[in-house]
């Protein structure tokens, strides 16, 4: 099979059928064999009813439903596990991503040799505040990752199958999949300017909290890509350094007292110096950091699968 299209769905009952028709029309005209995988992320409207109806009519449409809302990353990860196509494309279900981009994205993966191609919504139909914060996020992500993309959070992306089978997307990490792909060894990451369409139905599902979560996720992914496999390298190094600094400060106070006593002078109490308490605090913090790294190594070696979701129903799978 040439292509798997993975579409997370959350309360988008109006757009599901229209999007499926659009994808089918484009892929048929381009002579691309395909499947569409809808992942219903615990919708409370009739989205699942629409998906099951489509699946009963068309064997190339598959559906998964979570028993509650787990988020976009969970939906993508589950879809990645079910995808059978040589190329995998993800897109949002709100019709703001254009299915007309599919043939060019498939060509860039299949013929041009890219491991991953991320869409760039150069002209956006979003509020000013959302566009401004997006620029800040993307600029920070470029600096921290070294990946020259303009739009890390674009839902329209294409992947070689091996990429989605090699990465684990959890929490809110769908925003930084290019960084996960690069860490997994897939370094040929491209970009394509794509059409961004005005929202046709409903309202956005993201609130102000996404801006805070975005930066926290960036810090998390930066830590994971550098120290996820060996947290002791970070916490152990910092802990050892802080402990040594505290030990040297405490040693200085002790040596000073001995010098006073050797010269038969009245030695000040070590506890009278504020440096004693600073040294003690630094040594304790250093020990805690070292212990954190040690525990991180133990957890890293015994942790079970993070992406365990309650899937209520499947169709055509």
Q: Is residue 103 located within the same domain as residue 191? A: yes
Per-residue model confidence as pLDDT tens digits over 93-107:
999 899 999 999 999
**Does residue 28 surpass a pLDDT of 70?**
yes
Q: Is residue 219 located within the same domain as residue 258? A: no
What angle is formed at CA 13 by the lines to CA 199 and CA 38, rounded to 5 degrees? Answer: 95
Last residue of one domain, picked from the residues 171, 195, 227:
227
Name the domain count of the chain.
2
d(Cα 155, Cα 216) in Å, to the nearest integer? 19
Strands 311-315 and 61-66: antiparallel
d(Cα 65, Cα 79) in Å, to the nearest integer? 11
d(Cα 83, Cα 88) in Å, to the nearest integer? 7
Last residue of one domain, picked from the residues 178, 207, 227:
227
Structure tokens at 23: 């994808």
Structure tokens at 189: 């990451």
CB atoms within 10 A of CB 213: 15
What percentage of the chain has pLDDT greater than the value 90?
50
User: Does residue 123 fall inside a structural domain?
Assistant: yes
Q: Is residue 266 located within the same domain as residue 184? A: no
* Least-confidence region, from 31-35, 170-174, 238-242: 170-174
Q: Measure the N-to-C terminal CA separation of the chain; round to a whole number of Å.
A: 15
Q: Using DSSP, state whether 16 is helix, strand or coil.
A: helix
Q: Is residue 177 located within the same domain as residue 267? A: no
**Could you identify the residue written with the tokens 């091996």?**
162
**Does residue 296 surpass a pLDDT of 90?**
no
Q: Domain range holding 155?
A: 3-227
Q: Using DSSP, state whether 158 is helix, strand or coil.
A: strand
d(Cα 233, Cα 271) in Å, to the nearest integer? 34
Q: Is residue 295 located within the same domain as residue 177? A: no
Asked if residues 175 and 144 have their Cβ atoms less than 8 Å apart, the reply is: no
Asked if residues 157 and 117 have their Cβ atoms less than 8 Å apart, the reply is: yes
Last residue of one domain, picked from the residues 227, 254, 288:
227
- b/e map 281-294, b = 16+ CB within 10 Å: ebbebbeebbebbe
Structure tokens at 274: 């504020």
User: Does residue 314 fall inside a structural domain?
Assistant: no
Asked if residues 91 and 99 have their Cβ atoms less than 8 Å apart, the reply is: yes
Q: Is residue 73 located within the same domain as residue 191? A: yes
Q: Is residue 182 located within the same domain as residue 81? A: yes
Q: What is the pTM of this model?
A: 0.73
**Helical segments of the chain, H only:** 16-29, 47-57, 72-82, 102-110, 128-145, 161-164, 177-183, 209-227, 232-262, 274-302
Per-residue model confidence as pLDDT tens digits over 129-163:
666 777 777 787 787 778 888 888 888 999 999 99
The larger pLDDT score, comparing residue 313 to residue 188, is at 188
CATH number at residue 82: 3.90.550.10
**Does residue 225 surpass a pLDDT of 80?**
no
Asked if residues 159 and 79 have their Cβ atoms less than 8 Å apart, the reply is: no
User: Does residue 315 fall inside a structural domain?
Assistant: no
Q: Is residue 149 located within the same domain as residue 242? A: no
Q: Is residue 149 located within the same domain as residue 110? A: yes
């Amino acid at each position: 099979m040439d292509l798997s299209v993975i579409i997370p769905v959350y309360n988008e009952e109006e757009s599901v059928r229209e999007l499926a028709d659009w994808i089918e029309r484009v892929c048929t005209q381009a002579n691309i064999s395909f499947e569409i995988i809808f992942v219903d992320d615990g919708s409370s409207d009739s989205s699942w009813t629409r998906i099951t109806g489509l699946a009963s009519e068309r064997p190339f449409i598959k559906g998964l439903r979570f028993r509650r809302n787990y988020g976009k990353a969970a939906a993508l990860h589950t879809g990645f596990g079910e995808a059978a196509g040589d190329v995998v494309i993800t897109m949002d279900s709100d019709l703001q991503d254009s299915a007309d981009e599919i043939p060019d994205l498939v060509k860039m993966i299949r013929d041009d040799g890219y491991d991953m191609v991320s869409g760039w919504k150069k002209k956006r139909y979003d509020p000013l505040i959302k566009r401004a914060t997006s620029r800040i996020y993307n600029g920070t992500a470029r600096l921290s990752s070294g990946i020259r993309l303009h739009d890390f959070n674009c839902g329209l992306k294409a992947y070689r199958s091996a990429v989605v089978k090699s990465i684990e997307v959890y929490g809110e990490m769908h925003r930084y999949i290019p960084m996960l792909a690069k860490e997994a060894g897939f370094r040929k990451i491209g970009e394509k300017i794509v059409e961004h369409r005005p929202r046709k139905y409903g309202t956005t599902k993201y609130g102000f909290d996404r801006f805070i979560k975005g930066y926290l996720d960036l810090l998390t992914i930066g830590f994971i890509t550098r120290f996820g496999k060996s947290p002791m390298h970070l916490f152990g190094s910092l802990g050892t350094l802080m402990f040594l600094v505290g030990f040297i400060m405490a040693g200085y106070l002790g040596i000073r007292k001995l010098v006073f006593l050797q010269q038969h002078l009245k030695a000040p109490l070590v506890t009278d110096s504020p440096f004693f308490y600073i040294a003690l605090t630094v040594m304790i913090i250093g020990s805690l950091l070292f212990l954190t790294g040690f525990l991180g190594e133990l957890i890293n070696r015994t942790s079970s699968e993070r992406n365990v979701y309650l899937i209520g129903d499947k169709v055509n799978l």
